[in-house]
Amino acid sequence: MKHLSKGRKFHRKTGQRTALMKTLANNLILEERITTTEAKAKELKPEVEKMVTLAKNQDTASLRLLIARLPKKAAEKIFYEVAPKYKARHGGYLRVVKSAEARMRDGSAMATIEFVS
């Protein structure tokens, strides 16, 4: 049974899955737009939105939590640059746009995830 099973596994073990999400979040924050598979983009969106909400508090505890979850450069960027832009916004900081074309080698549905301006 699949009761209380949240999230996708991506055919990876727990540590690999955590590292994948951490790397995707890092790249998204630093570049502000990435293209990945649709499933990965949908998994990444709530995680990064929670980080933006945390960064909106603008206190030391929030910054330390972000540094624990992300590389320092990405944590500082989300805290000092990204979060202040969304101070008046109540959620919905990211958008997932599905691509018309599938990936060439395996036919995976692709999507672009980006910050809302």
Question: pTM above 0.75?
Answer: yes
pLDDT of 5: 84
Give the domain extent around 38: 14-115
User: Does residue 21 belong to any structural domain of this protein?
Assistant: yes
Structure tokens at 55: 């960064």
Tens of pLDDT, residues 44-56:
999 999 999 999 9
User: Does residue 37 belong to any structural domain of this protein?
Assistant: yes
Coil, strand or helix at 75: helix
CATH number at residue 71: 3.90.1030.10
CB 110 within 8 A of CB 102: yes
pLDDT of 1: 79
pLDDT of 83: 97
pLDDT of 4: 81
Digitized pLDDT (tens) for each residue of the chain, 117 residues in all? 778 888 999 999 999 999 999 999 999 999 999 999 999 999 999 999 999 999 999 999 999 999 999 999 999 999 999 999 999 999 999 999 999 999 999 999 999 999 998
User: Does residue 109 belong to any structural domain of this protein?
Assistant: yes
Phi, psi values for residue 26, rounded to 5°: -60, -50
